[in-house]
Amino acid sequence: MRILYVGNGQGFEGALKYYFIPQKLINGFIRLGHSVVSINDRDVARYSNIFRSQKRGVEKMNVFLLEQFRVYRPDFVVLGHCKNVRNEILHAMRDINPDVRIAYRNVDPLHSGNNVRDILQRVGVVDTIFITTAGESLAQFSHPNTKVSFMPNPVDPALETQRSYQNSNADIDFLFLASFLRDQKDHRAVTARYLVDHQPGMRLHIGGAGVNENLVYGAAFYDLLGRSKMGLCMNKTQDYYLYASDRMSQYMGSGLLTFIPEGPKFEDILGDDCFVSFSTNEELLEKIHYFLSHEDERIQMARCGCERVHDYFHSDKVAQYMIDCSFEQNLSMDYKWPTTQY
């Protein structure tokens, strides 16, 4: 097929975020044998006016997108968050090609009212919606014209190439990366400060998380993962089934023993032998020190987690699942995540 991917990837930021989900899905579609053209709606909008303003460039970006659709004539359109893309442009695409299938994917948590409104905007317009949250919370987006399904954060063999559990010279015992978190009451900032206050006995590296502004991107990000024995995947919310940021797939896929709060219940699909769950900061610290003093167990669990997510969440499988659902085909394989469509 010809696939048009529209979203915040392969733009003027260059290689800064080359390992984010858009690139993984593009890699997956291409390895499956499809042709992919990627358009960064945000950058097209910015660079269509002298003020470099997304808002001022929305109209020209939508005109450009529809023209590219006419030129490329894709069979499948996949939208990232794409707030700038108007629904009338999607309707115009169907006027040009009534057989086109359009999917929308959203990787933000559902506790955000703004994010829920963004998803609702596409309900009834696109054929399928894929969200990195599973369970009954997806039913609110169900519509006769739109099916909604869970998708895991993909792991890509071309990107998650580190195997930190094999690194006998790893100099970081525990890694915690997050955004700046200006709100010091954010639970992630509270946990970060707790770790800082109780770090004797471990080599702790924190980037952002309300502690500093040391954010890392590009190849340096994976270099940091390769130096780390263990890492924490803590999200904005812990209350939604199987929700996690892509940091979970990056950590586990790179061979870190990954710590995940118990709320999302990832043991339902991954088992309890390939990552560490916890419910309090005290339990988190206790388990960190346990695995620091039980090296063989840490390596065994980290290897298990790495191998399992590379198998279960392989980007080719996630891409194929999106095709299966969007084209109403029988599922191509026994996917290891919930495949209920609402």
pLDDT digits (tens, 9 = 90+) for 27-81: 999 999 999 999 999 999 999 999 999 999 999 999 999 999 999 999 999 999 9
Tell me the domains of the chain and their CATH numbers.
2-154+314-326 (3.40.50.2000), 164-312 (3.40.50.2000)
- What pTM did the predictor assign? 0.96
How deeply is 162 buried, as exposed, middle or buried, from its count of CB atoms within 10 A (0-12, 13-18, 19+)? buried
Locate 152 and state its tokens: 């895991």
Per-residue pLDDT at 181? 87
Would you state the torsion angle of the CA atoms of residues 178, 230, 226, 8, taken in this order, to the nearest 10 degrees?
-30
Residue type, 153: N
Which DSSP helix (H) or strand (E) runs through 185? none
| Residue 12: pLDDT band with limits 50, 70, 90 | confident
pLDDT reported for residue 282: 97
275-291 pLDDT, tens digit each: 999 999 999 999 999 99
Q: What is the pLDDT of residues 159-205, one digit of tens each?
A: 999 999 999 999 999 999 999 888 888 999 999 999 999 998 899 99
85-139 pLDDT tens trace: 999 999 999 999 999 999 999 999 999 999 999 999 999 999 999 999 999 999 9
Q: What's the confidence (pLDDT) of residue 184?
A: 84
Question: Mind listing the pLDDT tens digit for each residue in 303-338?
Answer: 999 999 999 999 999 999 999 999 999 999 999 999
Largest CA distance in the chain: 64
Q: What is the mean pLDDT of the chain?
A: 96
